[in-house]
Structure 1
Amino acid sequence: MSVVFQEGVLSDIARVTMGQSPKKEFVSSTQEGLPLLNGPTEFGSSHPTPVQWSTSFSKTAEPGDILFCVRGSTTGRMNWADQQYAIGRGIASISAINPQERHFVRAAIDLVLPELLAAATGSTFPNVSRLQLSELPVALPSAAVRTEISGLLGALDDKIESNLRVRNLCRDLGGNLVADTVRSAPSTQLEHYTASISRGVTPQYYKDEDASPVLVLNQKCIRDGWVTPELARLMTPRAREKSQAIARLDDLLVNSTGQGTLGRLARWDSDDPIYVDSHVTVVKADPRRIYPVLMPYLVFPLQDEIEHMATGSTGQTELSPSRLAQLNVPLLSLEEQRPLSARLVALEAQAHYCQVQSLKLTELRDALLPELMSGRMRVDEAGCLVSEALDEEVADV
């Protein structure tokens, strides 16, 4: 039996609350009051990590709400609220009228997001209004079907989030192992461990040339110790290879340009090599002095120190490879490193597996979303695909 859809708008199934920034005197980093979100800086893969708090605020997001960026170049980015937040003017809170439909609401936004962004980016400074969000067109099946669709998409989202939590736990466990090992270790400069420290290439971005394009990572790809290759861009292949600018397994990647971005770190965790652009520094380990998997772990805790090594004026800060080479890191012998690196390899392998599984489930979710939201696929058919995917993942563990 086919599902009947009716034309509607987002306000039929959700409430939109636009944020309002508190006065500066009520904002601090002392964790007093409610955690404050002003924009996507605090956004994670699913939930935010707040860095500011406010003791006086007028607009809030509640647990389970969708957090939607409404201003600037990051307009359209979304996270889930995992607790109550004070929200500033860069954020809107979107709350499902029926909490059981919250994943349906998110899917409805995802489906029309490209059109919304096209309208928002037509101005000098992208900006989405409450009216634009409230009047987003939505195809609405019955409430019962909306709940079923929400449940299916929620099951996928929950498993994706669970995988990412395990991935982050693996990294945290590795960090704790390293911290315990280096607690009383002497220090040396980073260059002691490295085969090369080099900026990436200046890409010629791909524009439908005859040659097949290649991927190039940029600073947006690097956050919280991880790389998001989906944000990489396409460039025209180089006439001459620059091997030092190609990230390979266990290489450390360091964002090296711009206040607020400079200093972000990641480990390249794939066997597939990839170019990075000139705003990113590639640090390659010398295996005669360090097990490559260990080097990123020695540097991860030092992001604040790296930020302070930058030179240049505000907004134009740069980190040169020569200055990065002078970073003080713990000194360990190969004998001390050996048992530690073996455990790190196992943890990173598990983290990589979780990431791969999350990407597969995300692809399934993205494929099902337009089919379910248009009625081209029945909920029970999609349910079989979701069950098979989740059962297959359990069997692989």
Structure 2
Amino acid sequence: MTPSAPGFSWTPLSSIARLESGHTPSRRKPEYWDGEIPWIGIKDATGNHGRTITTTLQSVTEEGIANSSARILPADTVCLSRTASVGYVITMGVPMATSQDFVNWVCGPSLFSKYLHYILVSEQESVRRFAHGTTHQTVYYPEAKAFHVCIPERVEQEAIAGVLGALDDKIEVNERIAVTADALLSSSYDGALAAVPDEFSEQPLSGAAEFINGRAFTKDATGTGRMVIRIAEINSGPGSSTVYNDINVPEKHLARPGDVLFAWSGSLTAARWYRPEAVINQHIFKVVPKRETPMWLAHQLVQLKLAQFRAIAADKATTMGHIQRRHLDEPVFTPSPEMRQQLDAQLRPLWERALAAEQETLSLAALRDTLLPQLMSGKLRIKDAEAIVEDTV
């Protein structure tokens, strides 16, 4: 155990917070499910790591709680995933129950729940080292009961959590801005298509953009490390396991902020890339607009084509595994040059606003992740951190 900074002291977590478990009501009893009580499962944690949540993917009934070992825990309970996906942290924004995949802490008066939340976020990798098992990693309750935390007085806990929370709040605002701007863009385009259909005609998707396919990359002992984007990472960003050494990456295979990426195999999806430069793999197209096609329009046309393919897949009650090159020559409703010009004046600012919000989110998250371990260890004092955040937010 490392020495604590002045004003910080180590203490057993179980001495300042009540450890609670979770449970899953019987799936064979439909009357136990789809009730009014939010119930946290693993997907809620992996999809909302580091957040406070008020809704969950599933819910249970009072009867389900009464006939299982699940308990309704109070708002501000801090939850840590302990099985399968170990180390994900969420906090309850309202009273909820959890599955047995979590250890949950109800904080006492000397521990601010949001501060514990940030402790567990900062120690995610350390928590994973407590996990046992080869196929399925699990943190068992004796290990959870043995957790120690290094904390300052309650007032400083609240101040530290306030600094980090200000960054997280701004990140959430930016995420809402991006989602709203994209929704407005799509609805405005669809509205124009419905209102003035004569200004749209069926044109090949390949006429609006070139689709550059990535290639397979193999690990090389030499060269410069590059991040390689896989299908699952189009929206979340490259994972740490996808760094490859490759010195001969063609320029055309690089994705840069503002590019549109289109996963044509497996999970059919298209998204705006807003993260740092990375390499696309063989299951992804980089969409490069032709002539006067704006990037937002290229993205919109790809989305329209994907919607058509998904509808076909749904009608056939099957999964469309991939899109072939010939599918890119199939028609999609495209605006006339005059309508394109009108729409561009209206919709380009929405696209650019969403991209700016996403890129600012990256900067804010990087700052939070830099401040987090320094604040939690006492190496950075709160006044200095507040000054840094005030200059940023």
TM-score range (shorter-chain normalised) is 0.7 to 0.9
Cα shift at 1:361:
2.3
Matched, 1:164 2:178: no
- C-alpha distance in structure 2 between counterparts of 1:301 and 1:59, whole Å: 45
Instruction: Say what the alpha-carbon RMSD is for the aligned residues.
Output: 3.9
Give the structure 2 partner of residue 24 of structure 1.
Answer: 27
> How far apart, CA to CA, are the structure 2 residues paired with 1:236 and 1:360?
26
Q: Deviations over 1:311-364 (max 9, x none)?
A: 9xx999731334753777443323222222333321222222222322222222
Indicate the SS of the match to 1:20: coil
Matches within 5 A, 1:289-308: 290-300=293-303, 306=309
Distance 1:25 1:110, change over 3 A: same
- For residue 183 of structure 1, give the secondary structure of its aligned residue in structure 2: helix
**Structure 1 residue aligned with 2:99:** 88
Select which of 126, 150, 156 maps to 2:161.
150
Q: Displacement, 1:105?
A: 0.8
Q: Report whether the alignment pairs 1:71 with 2:83.
A: yes
Q: Give the C-alpha shift of residue 170 in structure 1.
A: 1.6
Q: Distance in 2 between matches of 1:297 and 1:44?
A: 27
Match of 2:281 among 274, 277, 281: 277
Taking structure 1 as the reference length, the TM-score comes to 0.77
Cα separation, 2, equivalents of 1:108 and 1:377:
15
Per the alignment, residue 202 of structure 1 pairs with 216
CA distance in 2, matches of 1:301, 1:15: 51
Aligned residue for 1:105? 116
Alignment pair present for 1:321 and 2:333: no
The residue identity in structure 2 corresponding to 1:33 is E
Q: CA deviation at 1:389?
A: 2.2
Partner of 2:250: 241
**Greater Cα radius of gyration, structure 1 or 2:** 2
Distance verdict in 2 for CA 1:292–1:111, change over 3 Å: closer
Q: 1:136 to 1:303 in 2, by over 3 A?
A: farther
Q: Counterpart in 2 of 1:265? A: 270
Report the residue type matching 1:221 in the other structure.
E
Partner of 1:395: none
Among 338, 342, 349, the residue aligned to 1:339: 342
Residues 257 and 157 of structure 1: CA distance in aligned 2, closer, same or farther (over 3 Å) = same
Partner of 1:376: 379
- Deviations along 1:254-293, one digit per CA (max 9) or x if unpaired, are 34555xxx134312247x75321233344444346x4331
Tell me the residue number matched to 1:253.
261
Q: Distance in 2 between matches of 1:315 and 1:202?
A: 27
Percent identity reads: 21
Q: Taking structure 2 as the reference length, what is the TM-score of the superposition?
A: 0.77
Contact 1:198 1:283 in 2 (8 A): yes
| 5+ long unaligned stretches in structure 1 | 391-397
2:354 to 332, 335, 351: 351
Judge which range, 37-46 or 106-115, deviates more: 37-46
Look up the SS of the partner of 2:14 in the other structure: helix
Q: CA separation in 2, counterparts of 1:176 and 1:316?
A: 27
Q: Alpha carbons of 1:100 and 1:4: their partners in 2 closer, same or farther (altered >3 Å)? A: closer
Q: Which runs of 5+ in 2 are unaligned?
A: none
Q: Equivalents in 2 of 1:82, 1:303: separation in Å?
A: 36
